[in-house]
Amino acid sequence: MTTRYSRHELFLGSEAQAEINKASVIIIGAGALGSASSEMLARAGIGRVTIVDRDYVELSNLQRQQLYTEEDARNQMPKAIAAKTRLRQINSDIIINSFIEDVNGQNVEELIKNHSVIVDATDNFETSLVVNDAAVKHGIPYLFGACVGSYGLTYPIIPTDTPCLNCLLDHLPMDGMTCDRVGVISPIVQIIAAQQVTHVLKILSGKKLSPMLQSMDIWENEKAEINVTQLRKQNCPTCGEQPTYPFLLIENQLKTDVLCGRDAVQLRPGLRSDTFSLPRLLKRVENYVTNPVLNRYLLSCNIDDYRIVFFNDGRAIIHGTNEAKKAREIYNRLIQFY
Amino acid sequence: MSITLNGKDVSLQSGVDTVDKLLSHYQLENRIVIIEVNKVIILKENYKTTSLSHGDVVEIIHFVGGG
Ligand SMILES: [Zn+2]
C-alpha cells in the first residue's frame, strides 16, 4: 500500500481511518503541548484541525515548541498563525482553522461547538476548568494534559461516562507552578501530547476510555496511575445532577488589571464573596507571610518581594509587579489556603 | 517501614506514618493531589487519620498547570 495513511490503516483499520478523516479536533493552546499534538493530528489526517492561542512566538519557545522557527520568533508571529502555516505544509488535504484568542467563559462554547474532540494544551489550570465546563455542557470528549519540569499528567474526560475535571478538585484553581518558574524539558511534552493523541485515536476508533488519571516523571523514571471512578460527585457543579457550569459565568472569572505606573496589579475574583473574612484569611496564611497588618477594611502582608493587600470584597492589589500572570500566581499562592 | 510509591520501593523515615505526613514529606501538602493507598482513593478530610503500613502500595498524582 502506498497511500498517505496506509500505516494507519494497517494498524487501526480503514474504517477507523475514515472516521479520523471525518473528525474535527480543536486544540486549546498552541504552546509546547499544542505544537506537538497538532502536528501528530494533522499528520494523522484529522479532517478539520482548529487551533486557538493568544500568544506570539518568542525565542525561548523554540527549545520545545516544534512548529515554530527562528523566523517566527523574529517576526513575533502569533502562534495560531505560525502553527497554521506549518501544519498546512505538513498536510494540505485537511482544513486548518486558527484563532488568535484568549479562551474564556464567553467564547469557549462558540469555539468548541461542531468539534468531535477537544485537546487541552493550555498553560494554566483555570482555562482547563473553563474548557471542562464547556466540554461537559456540549457532550464533547476533552483530553486534559499538563506538564512542567520533567513531570506531566493526562486525564480523559468523557461526558456522562467519567468524572469531570471539576470532580477531581476541591481547591480553587492555582497556577503557582508554571514553566516560567521551574522550566520544562521537551521529552515530557512529547510524552504527554503523545498520550493525548493516543486517546483521540482511540475515541475515533470507537474504543472506550477508562477514567484513568496518569502521570509520568521522565527524569525520575516514575509513573503513576489512578482510576478515579469513585471521585464522581453527584453534586458536581459541572457534571452533577444540577449543573451550573460555574467557569462559564463571567462573574466567576478572576480579573486582573495592571495599575499603570504603580508597579501593581489588581485582582478581582469572580466567585461571590459575601462571606469572605479577612481575619480568617490571616489565620490561614500567617505562616507564609511577613509584616501582616489587619484592619476592618483590609489585610496587608508581604510574601517574597511582594506586598499584597486584600480587601473585604475579596479583591486584592499586589505591589511589586506589573505582570498579571505574576500577580495571579502570588494571589493564588495565598488564597488557596483560605 | 517501606512502601511502594508510584511503582518504586521507598523506605520512609520513622514518623512518616500517615497520608498527611507523607504528603508533607514530599512537599505536596499545598498542591492539588489525588492519592491512592492500596487501590483506594483517600479523601482529603481523611489524610490525617489514614495511617500507612509496611508494604502499602501508594500512588500520588499532583496537578500542574503548564503546557
Ligand atoms: Zn464533575
* Residues of A in Cβ contact (< 8 Å) with B64: 146-149, 151-153, 177
* Residues of B in Cβ contact (< 8 Å) with A154: none
For residue A122, report the distance from its CA to the centre of ligand 1, in Å: 19
CA dihedral of A179, A183, A185, A191, whole degrees rounded to 10? -30
Return d(Cα A226, Cα B5) in angstroms, integer: 12
Which of A229, A251, A273 is the last residue before a domain boundary? A251
Mean pLDDT computed over A223-238:
95
pLDDT, one tens digit per residue, over A119-164 is 999 988 888 999 999 999 999 999 999 999 999 999 999 999 999 9
- Cell 485515536 belongs to A201
Q: Mutate which of A52, A169, A215 to disrupt the B interface (most B C-beta within 10 Å)?
A: A215
- CA distances, B35 to each of A139, A266, B18 (Å): 28, 35, 12
Q: Do B67 and A122 touch (CB under 8 A)?
A: yes
In angstroms, how far is CA A75 from the centroid of its own chain?
26
Largest CA distance in chain B: 37
Pairing mode, if any, of strands B2-5 and B40-41?
Answer: unpaired
Residue B15 lies in a domain: yes
First to last CA, chain A: 61
Q: Do A222 and B7 touch (CB under 8 A)?
A: yes
Q: Write the burial class of residue A27 (CB in 10 Å: 0-12 exposed, 13-18 middle, 19+ buried).
A: buried
Q: Are residues A103 and A238 in the same domain?
A: yes
Q: Mutate which of A63, A174, A181, A335 to disrupt the B interface (most B C-beta within 10 Å)?
A: A174
Q: What nine digits make up the cell of A221? A: 523514571
Q: Do B65 and A128 touch (CB under 8 A)?
A: yes
Q: Mutate which of A150, A177, A184, A289 to disrupt the B interface (most B C-beta within 10 Å)?
A: A177
Residue A122 lies in a domain: yes
In angstroms, how far is CA A169 from the centroid of its own chain?
14
Residue B26 lies in a domain: yes
pLDDT band at residue A106 under the 50/70/90 scheme: confident
CATH code at position A301: 3.30.310
- Measure A145 CA to nearest chain B CA, in Å: 8
Q: Are residues A247 and A261 in the same domain?
A: no
In angstroms, how far is CA A118 from the centroid of its own chain?
11
pLDDT, one tens digit per residue, over A315-337 is 899 999 988 888 988 888 888 77
- Mean residue pLDDT of chain A comes to 91
Q: What is the pLDDT of residue A173?
A: 46
* Residues of A in Cβ contact (< 8 Å) with B46: none
For residue B56, report the distance from its CA to the centre of ligand 1, in Å: 29
Give me the catalytic one of A164, A179, A260, A301. A179
> Which is it for the CA torsion B40, B44, B47, B49, positive or negative?
negative
CATH code at position A66: 3.40.50.720
Residue B47 lies in a domain: yes
A301 is an active site residue: no
Give the gyration radius of chain A's Cα atoms: 21
Our count of domains for chain A comes to 2
* Residues of A in Cβ contact (< 8 Å) with B32: 169, 171, 174
Mean pLDDT computed over B45-65:
94
Q: Of A159, A152, A252, which Cα lies nearest the Cα of A193?
A: A152
Q: What is the pLDDT of residue A334?
A: 87
pLDDT, one tens digit per residue, over A289-301 is 999 999 888 899 9
Our count of domains for chain B comes to 1
Residue A91 lies in a domain: yes
- Measure B23 CA to nearest chain A CA, in Å: 15
Residue A1 lies in a domain: no
Whether residue A176 has pLDDT greater than 70: no
Residue A322 domain boundaries: 255-335
Residue B40 domain boundaries: 2-62
Q: Are residues A128 and A262 in the same domain?
A: no
The three-state (H, E, C) secondary structure of A151-162, written as one string: EEEEEEECCCCC
Q: Do A215 and B61 touch (CB under 8 A)?
A: yes
Return d(Cα A178, Cα A219) in angstroms, integer: 18
Closest CB to A125: pick one of B6, B34, B63: B63
B31 and B63 Cβ atoms separated by less than 8 Å = yes
Q: Percent of chain A beyond pLDDT 90?
A: 71
Give the helix ranges, DSSP H, for A63-211: 70-74, 79-90, 108-112, 125-138, 179-182, 186-204
Count other C-beta atoms under 10 Å from residue A79's C-beta: 27
| Lowest mean pLDDT, pick from A110-119, A159-168, A268-277, A329-338 | A268-277
For residue A162, report the distance from its CA to the centre of ligand 1, in Å: 8
B18 and B47 Cβ atoms separated by less than 8 Å = yes
Closest CB to A223: pick one of B7, B36, B44: B7
CATH code at position B45: 3.10.20.30
Mean pLDDT computed over A175-182:
52
Q: What is the pLDDT of residue A303?
A: 94
* Chain A residue with Cα closest to B5: A224
Q: Are residues A302 and A154 in the same domain?
A: no
Q: Which residue has the higher pLDDT, A274 or B25?
A: B25
- Measure A116 CA to nearest chain B CA, in Å: 22
Q: Are residues A246 and A271 in the same domain?
A: no
| Lowest mean pLDDT, pick from A64-68, A136-140, A146-150, A176-180 | A176-180
For residue A234, report the distance from its CA to the centre of ligand 1, in Å: 8
- Cell 523574529 belongs to A74
pLDDT band at residue A171 under the 50/70/90 scheme: low
